[in-house]
Amino acid sequence: QKSATEMALKPSWAWQEKDAEGKTECTGPVLASVLKEAMKKTALELDANKPFNEQDLKFRSFGIFLDHAKEHTICLVKCPVHRGNVWIHHKGNEDKLPTLESIEVRDKTQKEAEDSNASALTGVQLVSGKARSKTAKYQIIQQPVAGSAVSVVGSVERPLKLSSWALWDSMKKPQFVCAPMVEQSELAFRLLCRKYGTTLAYTPMFHARLFLEDSNYRAEQFTTCPADRPLIVQFCANDPDIFAAAARMVEGQCDAVDLNLGCPQGIAKKGHYGSFLMEDMDLIYKLVNTAHTHCNVPITAKMRIFDDDAKSLQYAKMLQDAGAQIITVHGRTRENKGATATPANWEIIKKIKEHVSVPVISNGNIVTYQDVVNCLEATTADGVMSAEWLRRNPALFAGVEEQKQNPLDLTDEYLDLCGEYPCPISYMRSHCFKFLVELLNANADMRMQFVEAKSRDDLKACSAALRLRLSSTAA
C-alpha cells in the first residue's frame, strides 16, 4: 500500500498527457493546481494559494489517490478545511490531462445527500447557505414525498400527536425522570435506570442541525430499543424549521420531542441555544410552535427560570401557548450553575405548576429518594427529574431502602448492558467513575487502571479487581 506522497508524486501514479514532443508527466503539484481550482469553483473553500508539495502532504494530510481503472476517478482527497473527504471524478479519458472542465467535485455531504435524497425524506429542503454550516437555512416541505420518513409510525404502539394530559396518561403518569445528559443518558444507562425505578427517560441533547444533516451523527448518537419506553428525544436548536425537521426524523421512535432551553454552558452561548435564547421570546415561541404545527409527535420544553417570578410565569405560559405539551422547570437561573450553584427554587416551580395547565416536571435538588418525595410535595409537580445524582446512583428512584445498591453491582450491570447496546469507551469510563466515586476515593491507586482501560472488557476487569480488593480487606 503506497503512501499519499508516493501516490501523488511518483511518476507511475501520475496522470500523463501526450503531446507532439512525447509524454509529459502530470505530477502532484500540477494536478493539485487543477483540483484546487475545481474546488474553488465549487465553493469548497480550499486555500488555493499554498503550493501542493511534499510538506503539504506531511503536515496538512492532503493526499491524492489516483485510480485509472475505476472510470478515472480520483477517489479521495483529504481536505483539512472540510475535516473530511472530497470525491472527485475525471470525465476525460486516461490519455487526457484533467482540466477544470473535465472534473466534477462533490464533498461527502453532497454525495450522501444525492445518494439518499435526504431532504425529501425528512420533509425539509435547504433554501440558502451551505449544508453542514451555520449559514444553512432550511424550509419545511408542506407535503413531503410519498413514503417519506415523515409518514412512518415506527414502533410506538399508540396514536401519535397526543396532547398534554393524554400524552402523560399514555406514558403511565411517569413520576421519576432521567434527565437529558450529553454523552451520558445513552441507551445502556437509560435501561439501567429503568430497571431501578425510572419511569421516563430523555436521550442526551442532540444538535438539531447536525442530526438533520449527518447520518453518521444520527447513527452514533441516537439508539433505542423496544424496552426504552417511554422516551423523549431532546434537541438544541435556534432555527424553527431545522428543529421541526429534526423532530420529524424521530417520529415513531419516541413518545415526544423536547426543546432544550436550559443549557447554561459556554458552548450553548457560542452556539446560541439552550438558556441563551431566553432574551428572544419570539424565537422560542416560533421554535416550539413550528414543530408543534408541522410534526406528528408531541413537543415539550425544558426551561430555566428568571430572577423575576413574573417573567418566569410568563415564560412558562408562553411555552404552553406555543404548543409545549409538557414543561420541565429547572429551578435555577442561567447564572446559577456549577460548583457555586445554590439550591433550586421549588417555590417558583410550584407557582408555575399552578399557572399552566399542562404536566410539569421539577428539576433540581434531588440527591436521595427522600428528596424526590419532598419535591413532589413541595412543588405539586407531576414528576421529578434528576441528572447528576442519578448518574452517581441509577437506583435513586427505587425507594428509600432499594436505592442503597452496591455500586460495583451497578457498574457490572451497566457494562453488561453496554455489551448488548454498545457506546463509546469514554461514556463507559465516565459512568464507572461516577458509580464508584467513593470507592475510588478510598482506593486511589486503582483509579489509573480505569483511566487506562481501552475497552469494556478492560473496565470489567478493573471492576473485578476492585471487588477483590474490597473482599480481601473485609476478610
Give the residue with greater pLDDT, 351 vs 43: 351
With bands split at pLDDT 50, 70 and 90, how would you rate the model's confidence at 402? very high
Q: Once rounded to an integer, what is the mean pLDDT over residues 244-249? A: 90
- Whole-model pTM: value is 0.72
Nearest to 198, CA basis, from 394, 32, 371, 346: 394
pLDDT for residue 412 is more than 80:
yes
Nearest to 311, CA basis, from 352, 272, 350, 345: 352
Cell of 7: 501516490
* Residues 166-208: tens digit of each pLDDT: 999 999 999 999 999 988 999 999 999 999 999 999 999 999 9
Question: How far is the C-alpha of 33 from the C-alpha of 45, rounded, in Å?
Answer: 14
pLDDT for residue 307 is more than 60:
yes
Coil/strand/helix, residue 204: strand
With bands split at pLDDT 50, 70 and 90, how would you rate the model's confidence at 448? very high
CB-CB contact of 131 with 113 (8 Å): yes
Q: Once rounded to an integer, what is the mean pLDDT over residues 119-131? A: 62
pLDDT for residue 432 is more than 80:
yes
Parallel, antiparallel, or unpaired for β 22-26 and 64-67? unpaired
Give the model's pLDDT for residue 150.
35
Give the model's pLDDT for residue 201.
98
Give the model's pLDDT for residue 141.
60
Give the model's pLDDT for residue 183.
86
Q: Once rounded to an integer, what is the mean pLDDT over residues 295-314? A: 95
Q: How many CA atoms lie within 13 A of 461 on its CB side?
A: 10
- Alpha-helix residue ranges (DSSP H) falling in 90-213: 108-116, 118-122, 164-170, 187-195, 208-213
CB-CB contact of 168 with 382 (8 Å): yes
Q: Once rounded to an integer, what is the mean pLDDT over residues 243-259? A: 91
Q: Where are the beta strands (DSSP E) in 338-446?
A: 360-363, 383-386
Give the model's pLDDT for residue 327.
98
Give the model's pLDDT for residue 5.
34
Question: How far is the C-alpha of 92 from the C-alpha of 26, rounded, in Å?
Answer: 14
DSSP string across 284-347: HHHHHHHHHHH-SS-EEEEEE--SSHHHHHHHHHHHHHHTEEEEEEESS-TTS-GGGPPPP-HH
Bridge partners of 234, per DSSP, are 205, 258
pLDDT for residue 268 is more than 50:
yes
Parallel, antiparallel, or unpaired for β 256-261 and 231-236? parallel
With bands split at pLDDT 50, 70 and 90, how would you rate the model's confidence at 114? very low
pLDDT for residue 83 is more than 50:
no
DSSP letter assigned to residue 144: P
With bands split at pLDDT 50, 70 and 90, how would you rate the model's confidence at 57? very low
Give the model's pLDDT for residue 137.
73
Give the model's pLDDT for residue 252.
81
CB-CB contact of 36 with 48 (8 Å): yes
pLDDT for residue 98 is more than 60:
no
Give the model's pLDDT for residue 51.
40
The reply to whether 263 belongs to the active site is yes
**From 26, 178, 254, 263, active-site residue:** 263
Cα dihedral 172, 176, 181, 184 sign: negative
pLDDT for residue 298 is more than 70:
yes
The contacts of residue 149 (CB under 8 Å, 6+ apart) are 121, 122, 123, 248, 249, 251
With bands split at pLDDT 50, 70 and 90, how would you rate the model's confidence at 36? low
